[in-house]
Chain A
Amino acid sequence: MATTTTAKSAASLPAPVPPLAPRRHPSVRRRLSRGGLYALAIAITVFMFLPIYLIVIAAFSPKAAVFAFPKSVIPRQFSTETLSFFLNSTGVIGSIQNSIIVGIATLLLSLVIGIPAGVALARFAFKGRDAFQIIILSTRSVPVVILSIPLAVTFIQWGLYDSLTAVVLAHTALALPTTILVTSSVFVSVPRDLEEAALTLGCSPLGAFRRIALPLSLPGLTAAAIFTFVLSWNEVFAATILTVRHRTLPAQVLSSLNDSPLYYRFVGGFVLVFPSLIFIFFMRRYLLNLWGRVVR
């Protein structure tokens, strides 16, 4: 009787560690670990979301409210004054357009190269396959800082300097290793049997890929696309070095934001963060799908 009471009171506490861990009450233990899991998930969410929340609040507050202390959690006043000033300042709208163009072009180019490479790694046993995989990864071990200067020189020689093409090429090179490894793991998770079944049912190899493997790996490919887009959207260094007038948003505003008053920085932060958040929000369903697959 006494043990039951202890277990019950333990269950009602949010404490994640069951002090007794009694074997006779597996349901109690499960409930506790479930509670612990939720607590952890909430803690992580708060940790990730609090800064974003504060940035959003600050971006939509009047200038004076940004300096106010102590801060109220719920915003009292609403203003888009700073935001519209920021967006109307020279080059910002243009650089947002550049960022979107570069992001989408990078995404497409890296998928066009990455999908066949991923299929090859996933489906075919060829000589040097493992070495190829390691070489792909090792390209990431060279820092962008070191790559940028020779890249800039090369692009000047090719007449590509200060063009969006240059940024797209650099970003594609940065994204490709991950794209290839992600897509290959996605295609590995599509059972070979399914494509073979399609072959016996009248498909050509290409038809089987298009009708079976591609639709089934779409969630994973979407995840790779998100990753690539966000990487390109956030990338500053290569974009700054390779362009002068045709800059992407981070390259355009990041240096000037450093010297701006606090309220501009919040607005800048908001504009930098928000589009990727929207992008991820719409794609998150597919992301979860991918992880479900990989875990299984």
Chain B
Amino acid sequence: MAGIDIQQLEKTYPGGTRPAVNSVSLSVADNEFMVLLGPSGCGKTTLLRMIAGLEYPERGSILIGGTDVTDLPPRKRGIAMVFQSYAVFPHMTVYDNIAFGLKMQKVEKGAVKTREERAAELLQHGPYLQRYSAQVSGGQRQRVAVARAIVMDPPVLLMDEPLSNLDALLRLDFRSELKKLVQELKTTTIYVTHDQVEALSLGDRIAVMRDGNIVQCGTPTEVYDTPTTEFVGSFIGNPPMNFLRGQLHRENGALHVRIGEHDLPAPLALAEHLTGENVLVGIRAENIAPEAHAVADALPARAEVVEPAGSHLLITALVGEQRVKVTARTDFPVAPDTPLWLVPDSRKFRWFDPETRQEITLK
């Protein structure tokens, strides 16, 4: 078991104009489940591959369990990896696939069998052990890939979008199965995904990446509730966080933010942090209550699109010219092009600088 310490890691691919990973530092504690989350091309897979030893950085260092492994080949790092494509060897049976790593380590036969059986039991593929990988389903193949990695009892488990090739239903099943499995294993895990739902549900912490940098790193609740940049807020959450442009102004000693033609209260301290009067207000859909009739402190809006989502309605509404996504109960009376009123919970407002797109932290 081992923690991982990454220091100022940098990598530019040959022919690349900007670094794929740009001076990234990250510490992962022993037994921690760390998720690297970001859109495609953000450098998350490159970072993972450098930890695995499949790519080498130009600068920086990687420590696993206190040992500098920056220049070591994958086999000497104490890692196991699950690939996005599964990478199950097609010319071997399921059993041979899972036993492959142990055979390479020259573990004696009896021990291979017991460890193999344990992994097979954990992942429920007893009946398939003698089949070739082409003869089992995609879901089974994914299980084989995971079993092949965990049977090694690796101090560090690396996973590169392991669920992205599964269909939606299987993905949901396997996600909870994976979470349970990793909790039992007590291994340090780094998990790469572009799916924010996966990240929120699996990770102890999430490192959100963009353009080769880690933008924010924190627990799922932290990155969801208190995004430090507009990017994190709009990348995490379904629907993403709403961002409304507003203008600050003082009235009777209190600070207000004007959105469209309506005023909402703003904390006084905000004024110290801004040079102009413009500000971005970030608010999650669940912190906006839709009303069918005009009420106090409400923003008048017009419904643009109404999408039933089974358990709730997703309403895209226009406040002036600005789009806001809110959720409502399925019995909420709304139709496209009808008016509705939005009551935001002003305690949940997050404030962002419209120039830098960074959060304004209030003391």
Contact = CB atoms under 8 A, between A and B. Distances in A.
Given A197-B148, A200-B81, 15 more contacts: A125-B14, A193-B84, A194-B87, A196-B83, A198-B100, A200-B54, A200-B79, A200-B80, A201-B75, A201-B101, A202-B104, A202-B105, A203-B75, A204-B73, A215-B91
A193 B152 contact: no
B54 A201 contact: no
* Interface SS of chain A: helix
A216 interface: yes
A201 B104 contact: yes
Top 6 nearest A-B pairs (CB, nearest first) are A202-B104, A201-B101, A197-B87, A193-B87, A200-B81, A199-B74
B13 to A, nearest CB: 10
B85 interface: yes
Contacts of B91: 215-216
Nearest to A125: B14
Interface residues of B, number: 25
Nearest to B91: A215
Interface in B63-115: 73-75, 79-81, 83-85, 87, 89-91, 100-101, 104-105
B104 A191 contact: no
A52 to B, nearest CB: 35
Contacts of A197: 81, 83, 87, 89, 148
Interface in B118-149: 148-149
Interface string A193-227: 11011111111110100001001100000000000
Interface string A174-207: 0000000000000000010110111111111101
A201 B14 contact: no
A215 B52 CA distance: 25
B80 A201 contact: yes
Contact of B75 (A191, A193, A204, A212): A204
Contacts of A196: 54, 74, 81, 83, 87
Contacts of B73: 199, 204-205
Contact of B83 (A193, A205, A207, A212): A193
A191 B85 contact: yes
29 contacts: A191-B85, A193-B83, A193-B84, A194-B87, A194-B90, A196-B54, A196-B74, A196-B81, A196-B83, A196-B87, A197-B81, A197-B83, A198-B89, A199-B53, A199-B54, A199-B73, A199-B74, A199-B75, A200-B54, A201-B75, A201-B101, A201-B104, A201-B148, A202-B105, A203-B104, A205-B73, A212-B89, A215-B91, A216-B91
Contacts of B87: 191, 193-194, 196-197
Contact of A200 (B74, B90, B105): B74
A212 B83 CA distance: 16
A205 B73 CA distance: 9
A19 to B, nearest CB: 41
A199 B75 CA distance: 6
Q: Chain A contact residues (Cβ within 8 angstroms of B): what range?
A: 10 to 19
A196 B90 CA distance: 14
Nearest to A207: B104
A194 B89 contact: yes
Contacts of B52: 200
Contacts of B75: 199-204
Contacts of B104: 201-203, 207
Contact of B100 (A191, A201, A204, A216): A201
Interface in B307-362: none
A196 B158 CA distance: 13
Contacts of A204: 73, 75
Interface centre among A125, A199, A201, A216 (most CB of B within 10 A): A201
Interface in B144-161: 148-149, 152, 158
A11 B85 CA distance: 43
A139 to B, nearest CB: 29
Interface string A95-128: 0000000000000000000000000000001000
Contacts of B83: 193, 196-197
A197 B152 CA distance: 13
Contacts of A194: 87, 89-90
Nearest to B145: A197
Contacts of A202: 75, 101, 104-105
B90 A216 contact: yes
A212 B104 CA distance: 13
Contacts of B158: 200
B187 to A, nearest CB: 14
A201 B152 CA distance: 8
A275 to B, nearest CB: 30
A198 B14 CA distance: 25
Contacts of B101: 201-202
Contacts of A199: 53-54, 73-75
Nearest to B85: A193
A283 B269 CA distance: 81
A202 B83 CA distance: 15
Contacts of A191: 85, 87
